[in-house]
Structures are given as structure tokens and as C-alpha cells.
Amino acid sequence: MKLKKAVAAAAVCLAVLFAVPALAADFPARPVTYIIGWATGGGSDLVSRVLCAEAEKHLGQPIVIVNKPGGSGAKAYVEISQAKPDGYTIGNTTGTISTHKFMGVIPIGHEAFEVVITFNSDPGGLWVKKDAPWKTLKEFVEDARKRPGEITVAASNPGSITRLGLQLLELKENVKFKIASQSGGESAGPSLVAGGHVDACQAAPVTAKSLYDAGEIRPLGIMSETRVEAFPDAPTCMEQGYDVVMHNARQILAPKGTPKEVVDKLYAAFKAAAESETFKKFMNESGSMILTWDQKQSAEFLEKQDAQFKELLQQVGLYKEAK
Amino acid sequence: MLTKNPSTILGSGLILFSGGVLYLVSQFSTAAEEFRALSPKFFPDLLGWALLFLGGVIFVQGMRRPPAPVFRERPERGAVVRAILFILLVGLYLRFLPVIGFFSVTALFMLLSQALLGEKSIVMNLLRTGVFVFLVNYLSSGLLHVPLPLGPWGF
Amino acid sequence: MTLLAAFQTVFTFKMIALIFGGSALGIIVGALPGLSATMGMALMLPITFYMPPSEGILMLLGLYTGAVFGGAYSAILLNIPGAPPSVMTSLDGYPMAQRGEAGRAISLATVGSTLGGIAGVIALIIIAPILARFALRFGPAEYTVLAVFGLSAIVAVSGKSLARGFAGAALGVLLSTVGMDNFTNVSRFTFGSIELMSGINFIPVVIGLFGLAEVIAQILETSKEGVITRTINRLFLSASDFGKVLKGLVPASLIGIVIGVLPGAGGTIASIISYNHAMQSSKDPEKFGTGAPEGIIAAETANNASVGGAMVPLLTLGVPGSSPAAILLGALLIHNLRPGPMLFTTQPVLINTIFVGLLAAQFSLLLWGLATARIAPWILAVRKEMMLPTIAVLCVIGSFALKNSFFDVGIMLVSGVAGFFLNKLGVKPGTVILGLILGPMFENNLRSTIEISGAAPIFTSPICIVLWVLTAAMVLYPICKMFRLRKCGTE
């Protein structure tokens, strides 16, 4: 009996001893897993891969990227929230971190995580064909007012950030468009506009940049507070008198309970990565905006985003009480 | 059973299946929504009915003109047992993959399944298993950077 | 002369090594079931950050080309399409290998892929802008009818019983509806599982239906011995085989290029339509599915031609024509290069380098393919006891690797068992796969069309009308033949 107790005690001591190296002081001691909740080759995937390639250098350990697509990030969110909070499992988000829980897709939101950094934000935007009859946003909105439900606008599926931005415009101006969903997310939108299949589309500048540069489409209004650097000629909705702002921001998440020192180390590494030349070049060329908000700023932002989306979803009738 | 008419089997199977499908479709929660485009129920419904119809056609075809039986010759009992065991092994492989990691579970699987299928020499078995697991591991983690699940002991 | 400069850039030792090396890696990625070109390219992407843009891009192009071709290996040798574009290759490739002519099958696939790929690059170089304009005219209505056109291949793949063919396709389409509906967020057949909400991915299903089902069938076969006799494999094709390749080259490449250009349709659909066409226009279509060289040629030529096609919208408009092309876009963006009409004027040497490099990549297929055509069939000589477990492991890893999902492996297992029984009962796996691949394209685009403008454009747009006529031709021709045979009493 005594021997058993001694062995048990020794085992506990050994276990604690072995657990100690897993503490923050030595982080990271082995490769970090980075979960992307979207398919390989998509927007989130590419941005994350470039970012991680840079962050590896500052972190000192390889970052292994794993794609776990499903439900626009839903599956990945659940998985990250259930991982061990030791900093070795992290992943990224888009705006869906705020919408999923209000639509009843998953029961958790950003409170279930430690947010490491907000590194990117893409505003929405309204685009039309180069020779479309509307020259300004005002003409477009007024035309929609005159013939409700006739102007076709391509946007992603119900509940997606893209579509919400468009619906925000509808609500604020009391107009109605004929919103057409398209499968394959918002990337098909600009092509549909250029091909003349729809009158307009809602898409982030990133997605529309190729066809914009090619001269096929032009922006009526970007849904950000100030003009996007890579699109100096694209007017914002705000400066045209329409208070419509919609951002799709990307954060990096770690499970709740991850020690502060670990989060700080991760933040430092990813911040440096976001400010690296390679990443800047990539984002600039894609037309995307770089941010480097830390934990506190990100949390504040997410609170605001939660409130904004909750209200919006209620207004468009997609809100579901949490399970 | 194995030598019976495959068309009637298939036909009745399809009819039952499509019945289940149609029931499930009716359960879709599309209560208070109006759909500008097709209702999400439309397509599955259509397919359910199509399968019902096709099941009937196949069944009738089978009654009128019995085709060749499912298995030309009865496979020997040993083969059937082995097949079932093999499937079970794959199932176990899947079940334990997240638990003990790729390396170990693959090695176990290879050893057991080779023995099941008739590999008599244990040495050859072990050898082949070892080489194979090593190769796949190298290929995926080393060359292609595809992360394979690790067991609790780190590999 | 920029073309000359491009040639000089490409034909250095380093570049050729990168292209051929990338292609070899691509072939391995393509050959392993479950790993796709997109994945391989995404993994190599960070490496290209620190290389000069032309080197990085060319390596990725080599990867892409190799991966599309590589799927033929596992399709022919193991009946598991290594990548979706090779599904049709397995229909005739595997039976041919079973006959002992695996080397011939691989050689056919090699030469077909190379020539198709070259055709694709030539189209890219010469008529890219026209093709790009054409691609833009494809809206949801056109895609809907294209899907119908593709589905008409059911007739080709059904085998003897049309009813079973349609049933299989219906099953496939039904499977494709599982998940959260894109348009309305209504959950269909998800039974509350978050896994099922994102739908059933078709790669695990393909692996299960083709691979695992075949493994099970092999275990049950006690009459046949495990070793397959090897026939003499010549390094190059026989003259008549080569003639067949040339004969099938034009239609298959055209189909591959045109389909490849369309964003949202790629090598897979191209090979389906090409196979269907080859079968309908052949003198004895019954031999398709039993090891007809024309089948392999049609499928492989089309899917490699689609690579060149996918590059068209990428380079001319900056819109990727396929997922791997999206990765290429990323690689270009890293180096501050935005593809589009501006790139043609500001970086003519780079553009020409891409053209020449892509051309060189096709020849790498010739090298690797013919080199391995001899030795690859040795795999078939491995005894069953080793072979079948190995295939099973590959099936498991392949299904897992795609989305790092154990659930997908489960899907593979279920598809395997179900597929085995369905096959025994006469439902061909090809029909199910057709439904699974083309179902979403049809349903989503149909609903898009209706949302935008009602169903009318499906029947009124000029492109749609052309596609309807083609579909009718594809469907009616064999049915007419069947009726004629019945009347003559040959049943």
C-alpha cells in the first residue's frame, strides 16, 4: 500500500515536471498548428499562408497550416475553442465569428477565445459594369427607389457579410434590390457583372480588383470610412452621403485560457509578419487592408461587430435565439 | 439470397430508400419563408420521386426477365468472412486513427490485414509494414507537408 | 523579340530543372488519391516567395500540369482516380490494366495528356483574349445547361441498363444536396451534424466508390489469382495507338480548352464531356468501359488541355479559371504582379516566359510518363496480401488529407461498402459520381438564373441553345441506335 502511494506521488511529480516545459517560458518549443476554416486557394487561405510564412521566421518554429473547411468557418471555430489552451493550436476568422452565433449555426462567438490579433480588414463595395447607366451611387439608389425589386445585385448567400452590407444599404435608404445569391461565395459576383448577367454586385475591393484593373467594372461606392489605399479613385459610400460601413475583418484566435505570455508572443510574431515587406507587397497588390490590432483593440472591435451584426440580422430576419 | 434476382433486390431497395428520402424532405424546416427561386425542397423531392419511379421500373424489369444472378458462383465462405473482417479492420483503423496516431495505427492495420489475407511469413509481413509506413510518413510529412494525425506519444 | 528572350530565360538548366522537378512532384501529388493539384500548389507556395517570380511561377505551372496528369496513374493501376479529372480515365484505364496492358494505358494517357496540354498552351498564346470574352458570357443560365449537357453522359456511362444509370445519377445528385443550402440556409439531410452541414465532399466518395469497393470485390474473388501476367510493354506507342491519339486529339482538346476557360468548370467536367463525345462518335461504343484506348485518350487529352484553358481568364482578366489557378494568382500577387491586360504590356517577357514554360512543362509529362510506363505496372505484380491493405491505407489517408477530417474517412468507408453492393446490383459508380459532381452545378445555377431573371434565359440565350442542341444529339443518338437494334431483334 505504502509503495503504491509512493509510486503514485512520484508519478504526479514527474507529470508536473514534464508539464512545466509546456509553460509559456519555452513557447514555442514545437511547431504550431494553424487552422483555416476555409478551402485551400480561397481568399482567407492565401492571406493566411503568406502571413504564416512570414510569422514562422519571427516565431522560431514552423507553422503547420491545416485546412478544415465547413460552414464558413463554423467547424474550425468549434475545433479551436476545444483545443488545449497552450498556444499550439490557433486559427483565423472572418466576420462570421460574429454572425454564426446569432444565426444559430454554432453556439459560440469570440468570447470563447483569446483573440491574438486583427490583421486584415476588407470593406464591402458596390460594383457595376463599366458602361452601366449609373454614374454615381446616388443615381443607383434613386433608380432603385423608383423601381423597387428590379435592379439585380449579386451577393453571397443569406447571412454572409457581403450580403449583409447590401442589406444594410437597403434598410438605411429604404430601397429594395433584387438580390441574387450565387454559389461559390462572392468571387463570382464581379464576373457576373462584367458579363452583363446582373446589374451590380456586392464584393470587397480585393475580389473585384482584377476586373477593375482590366477596366470591365467600376465601383459605385466602397463601404469603408476612408478610401482604400489601393483604390484611390474609388469613392466611399460615406463621402457620397450614405452612412453604410461594412467590414470583413480577420483575426487570429487561440482557445480561451491560453496564457497571456503565449498570446503576447504570438501577437509579436504575427505583428512583425503583418508589417513585413512580403506581406505588404501581397496585400497591396491584392488591394487589401493591413491592420495590427492587439488583443484589447480586437476585443473591443469584436464587441462592436457583434452588436452591429446582431441588430442587422434581426432586421433582415435571420436572427435565431442561441441554443 | 446471393443468387436471387438482383433487379428485384435493387428495385425494392430503391423504393424503400426513396420513401425514406421523401419523408425526410418533408421534414425540412422551411416554414415561414418565401422562395424567389426554387424551394430547397424542390430538388430532393424531385429526386425522391424519380428514385421511386426508377425503383419500380427496375423491379418490374426484374420480374419480367430475370437477369443473371448477383454472384455468378457463390464465393466461398472463407472469402466472405475475410471481406467482412477486412471492412471491420478498416473501420477500426478509422476509429483509432485519432486516438493513437497515424504511425501506430497504420502499422497495426497493415500487420493484421496482411495476416488476414493470407500472408504466412511474419518476417515479410513486418518488413513490408515497416517499409511502407516509413515511406508514407516521409512522403506526407517530409515531402508534402501534409500533417497526419499524431498519437499521444508524438508520432 | 520578347519570345526569343523568353526562350532564353526558360531553357536554362535551373529553370528546366524547376519545371521538370515541379512536374514530377505534381505527378506524385496527383497520383496519390485525395491529394489534389490545389493542395500541392498551396504547399509549395511559400517557397516561391523567395524566388524570382518567373522561377516560382514556372515551378507551380509544372506542378499543376503534373498533378492533372498524375491522377491517371492511380486511376489506371488501382481504379482510384488520384484526382477528380481522372475519374473518366479509370473507366477504361483500369480494365486495360487488368488485361495486362497497364503500360499501354499509361503511355496512352501520357501522350494524350502531352498533346492535349500543348494544344491548351497554343490556344492560350493565340486566342486568349477571344476565349476570355467568351468566358464572361457564361452566366448562371449557361452553366445550368452545361450541367445538363454533362449529365447527358449518364447515357454513356450507364452500361446496359439506362434505368440503373439514371438511378445512380439520381443518388449522386441526392448526395450532393446534403448540407446547408447555399441560397436559403435551410439544412438538408444534415441530421444536426455540423460535419454534414458543409455537405458531402466528393473526393472521399470517389475514393470509396472506386477504390474501396474494388478492394472488397477483390477479396471476394477466389477464382482469380492475384498475379496478372505482364504483356510486353513497348516504350513508345504502336503506330495504330498513336493514330488513335491523333484522331481523338482535336475534339478532346477543343472541349478541354473551352471548358477549362470557364471559371467553375475545369478538367473534371472537360473529361466527362470529352469521354461522352468520344463514345457517341465511335463506331463501336460498347467497348467503352472495357478498356478502349479511345476512352483514355479522350479523358486525358481533355483534362490537360483544360490547364491551358484555365490560364486564359487568369492571365487576361485576373480571374482564376480553377482552384489551382487561384494559387497561381496568389503567387503572382506576392511578387507585385497583377495579371490582367496591364501585365501584357508592362511585363511582356514574363508573360512569354509563362507561355514557353508551360509548353516545356507538357514535354516533362512525356518524359516522366514514358519513363514510368514500363515500371509502373510492376505495382500490379505485387501480391494481393500486400496490395489490398496498401490501397486501403491510401484510401484512408487520401480521404483524410483533403480536409483533415475523420468524418470524410467515414464517408469513404460507407461509400465503399455501399458502392460495392450497388456495383454488384448493376449500378455503375461512374453514374453516381456524375450526379455528385454535376448536381450542384445544375441546381445552384438554375436557382441563380431563376432568382435573377426567371427561367427564360435557359431557353433563349444563344449559348444555351447551342448546348441544348448538343445535349439532344448526345442523348438521342445512342437511344436511336438502341431502338434500331431492338427492332432487328438482336436482344
Q: Read off the pLDDT of residues C139-169 as tens digits, 9 standing for 90 and up.
A: 888 888 989 988 888 877 787 778 888 989 9
Number of residues written out for chain B: 155
Contact across the interface for B44 and C390, Cβ inside 8 Å: no
Phi and psi at residue C81, to the nearest 5°? -60, 120
> Concatenated DSSP letters for C466-485?
HHHHHHHHHHHHHHHHHHHH
Which residue of B lies nearest to C425 if distances are taken between CA atoms?
A: B6
With cut-offs at 50, 70 and 90, classify the pLDDT of residue C61.
very high
C115 has a pLDDT exceeding 90 = yes
Residues B119 and B129: beta-carbon distance below 8 Å: no
- C392 contacts chain A (CB < 8 A): no
**Amino acid occupying residue C251:** P
pLDDT attached to residue A25: 61
Q: How many CB atoms lie within 10 A of CB C414?
A: 16
Residues in Cβ contact with A198 at an 8 Å cutoff, skipping those fewer than 6 apart: A152, A153, A154, A180, A189, A192, C452
- A-facing residues of C in 136-175 (CB < 8 A) are 136-141
With cut-offs at 50, 70 and 90, classify the pLDDT of residue C59.
very high
| Domain residue limits, chain A | 29-121+248-315, 125-240
Find the CB nearest A45 among C42, C140, C324. Answer: C42
Any idea of the CA torsion for C380, C385, C391, C395, to the nearest 10 degrees?
Answer: 170
CA geometry: angle at C480 spanning C478 and C484, to 5°?
A: 115
Contact across the interface for C319 and A190, Cβ inside 8 Å: yes
C96 has a pLDDT exceeding 70 = yes
- pLDDT tens profile B112-136: 888 887 777 788 888 888 888 888 8
Find the CB nearest B113 among C39, C389, C427. Answer: C389
Residues A271 and A58: beta-carbon distance below 8 Å: no
Our CA-based measurement puts residue B31 at a distance from the nearest CA of chain A, in whole angstroms, of 13
Find the CB nearest C447 among B6, B13, B38. Answer: B38
C223 has a pLDDT exceeding 60 = no
With cut-offs at 50, 70 and 90, classify the pLDDT of residue A180.
confident
CA geometry: angle at C457 spanning C456 and C459, to 5°?
A: 75
Most confident of A36-45, A77-86, A175-184: A77-86
Cα–Cα distances (Å) from C389 to B129, C211, C224, in that order, read 10, 12, 18
pLDDT attached to residue C281: 83
With cut-offs at 50, 70 and 90, classify the pLDDT of residue C1.
low
Of C365, C367, C359, nearest in space to C114 by CA: C365
Average pLDDT, chain C: 84
C477, three cell numbers:
443518338
Q: What is the spatial distance between Cα A48 and Cα A120, in angstroms, rounded to a whole number?
A: 10
Contact across the interface for A66 and B145, Cβ inside 8 Å: no
* C443 interaction partners in chain B (CB closer than 8 Å): 38, 43
The pairing of strands A113-123 and A247-255 is antiparallel
* C405 interaction partners in chain A (CB closer than 8 Å): 68
Same fold, A29-121+248-315 and A125-240: yes
A216 has a pLDDT exceeding 70 = yes
- B-facing residues of C in 209-228 (CB < 8 A) are 212, 215-216, 219-223
Q: How far is CA C219 from the centre of its chain?
A: 29
Phi and psi at residue A178, to the nearest 5°? -100, 100
pLDDT attached to residue C394: 85
User: Does residue C117 sit in helix, strand or coil?
Assistant: helix
Residues C116 and C252: beta-carbon distance below 8 Å: yes
Our CA-based measurement puts residue A150 at a distance from the nearest CA of chain B, in whole angstroms, of 13
Contact across the interface for B106 and C393, Cβ inside 8 Å: yes
Q: How many CB atoms lie within 10 A of CB C283?
A: 6
Q: How many CB atoms lie within 10 A of CB C221?
A: 14
Q: What is the spatial distance between Cα A37 and Cα A252, in angstroms, rounded to a whole number?
A: 12
Find the CB nearest C170 among B33, B35, B50. Answer: B50
Q: What is the spatial distance between Cα A100 and Cα A106, in angstroms, rounded to a whole number?
A: 6
Q: How is residue C207 annotated by DSSP?
A: I
Residue appearing with cell numbers 528572350: C5
Q: What is the spatial distance between Cα C277 and Cα A125, in angstroms, rounded to a whole number?
A: 43
Region A6-19: mean pLDDT is: 48
A225 has a pLDDT exceeding 90 = no
Phi and psi at residue C438, to the nearest 5°? -90, -20
Q: What is the spatial distance between Cα B25 and Cα A312, in angstroms, rounded to a whole number?
A: 30
With cut-offs at 50, 70 and 90, classify the pLDDT of residue A19.
very low
Helix axes B77-116, C406-424, angle to 10 degrees: 150
Residues C296 and A191: beta-carbon distance below 8 Å: no
- B-facing residues of A in 144-183 (CB < 8 A) are 181
Residue appearing with cell numbers 487592408: A289
Cα–Cα distances (Å) from C412 to A7, B13, C302, C397, in that order, read 46, 21, 27, 10
C130 has a pLDDT exceeding 80 = yes
Phi and psi at residue A129, to the nearest 5°? -65, 155
Q: What is the spatial distance between Cα C245 and Cα C237, in angstroms, rounded to a whole number?
A: 10
Region A206-226: mean pLDDT is: 87
Write the class of the CATH domain A125-240. Answer: alpha beta
A232, three cell numbers:
484611390
Q: Comparing A239 with B153, which gets the higher pLDDT?
A: A239
Find the CB nearest C393 among B38, B87, B109. Answer: B109
Residues C431 and C422: beta-carbon distance below 8 Å: no
Our CA-based measurement puts residue A293 at a distance from the nearest CA of chain B, in whole angstroms, of 30
Any idea of the CA torsion for C405, C406, C407, C412, to the nearest 10 degrees?
Answer: 100
CATH 3.20.20.20 fits domain A29-121+248-315: no
Region C324-348: mean pLDDT is: 83
pLDDT attached to residue C60: 93
Find the CB nearest B114 among C221, C223, C386. Answer: C386
- A319 contacts chain C (CB < 8 A): no
Phi and psi at residue A69, to the nearest 5°? -70, 155
C interface test, pick of B4, B60, B110, B114 with most C CB neighbours within 10 Å? B114
- pLDDT tens profile A112-165: 899 999 999 888 889 999 988 998 888 999 998 898 888 899 887 777 888 888
Contact across the interface for C42 and A157, Cβ inside 8 Å: no
pLDDT attached to residue A185: 58
pLDDT attached to residue A128: 93
* C263 interaction partners in chain A (CB closer than 8 Å): 188, 191
Find the CB nearest B43 among C32, C426, C443. Answer: C443
Q: Comparing C239 with C211, which gets the higher pLDDT?
A: C211
B interface test, pick of A34, A64, A88, A182 with most B CB neighbours within 10 Å? A64
Region A226-251: mean pLDDT is: 87
- B64 contacts chain A (CB < 8 A): no
pLDDT attached to residue A68: 84
Region C447-459: mean pLDDT is: 80
pLDDT attached to residue C228: 47
Residues C297 and C244: beta-carbon distance below 8 Å: yes
Region B42-71: mean pLDDT is: 81
pLDDT attached to residue C224: 44
- ipTM of the modeled complex: 0.85
Q: How is residue A322 annotated by DSSP?
A: -
User: Does residue A128 sit in helix, strand or coil?
Assistant: strand
**Amino acid occupying residue C68:** V
With cut-offs at 50, 70 and 90, classify the pLDDT of residue A278.
confident
Residues in Cβ contact with B148 at an 8 Å cutoff, skipping those fewer than 6 apart: B101, B102, B103, B137, B140, B141, C397, C400, C401
Residue appearing with cell numbers 430538388: B43
pLDDT attached to residue C227: 46
Q: What is the spatial distance between Cα C71 and Cα C62, in angstroms, rounded to a whole number?
A: 15
Q: How many CB atoms lie within 10 A of CB C462?
A: 9
Average pLDDT, chain B: 78
Most confident of A294-308, C90-104, C315-329, C397-411: A294-308
A239 has a pLDDT exceeding 60 = yes
Average pLDDT, chain A: 84
Q: Comparing C283 with A111, which gets the higher pLDDT?
A: A111
With cut-offs at 50, 70 and 90, classify the pLDDT of residue C487.
low
pLDDT attached to residue B152: 67
Least confident of A137-141, A186-190, C296-300: A186-190
- A-facing residues of C in 214-253 (CB < 8 A) are none
Alpha carbons within 13 A on the beta-carbon side of C117:
30
User: Does residue A78 sit in helix, strand or coil?
Assistant: helix
pLDDT attached to residue B28: 78
Residues C66 and C368: beta-carbon distance below 8 Å: yes
Region C248-262: mean pLDDT is: 90
pLDDT attached to residue A108: 87
Most confident of B80-84, B118-122, C152-156, C272-276: C272-276
- B142 contacts chain A (CB < 8 A): no
- A20 contacts chain B (CB < 8 A): no
Q: What is the spatial distance between Cα A43 and Cα A50, in angstroms, rounded to a whole number?
A: 11
Region A187-203: mean pLDDT is: 86
CA geometry: angle at C135 spanning C130 and C141, to 5°?
A: 140
Q: What is the spatial distance between Cα A69 and Cα C405, in angstroms, rounded to a whole number?
A: 9
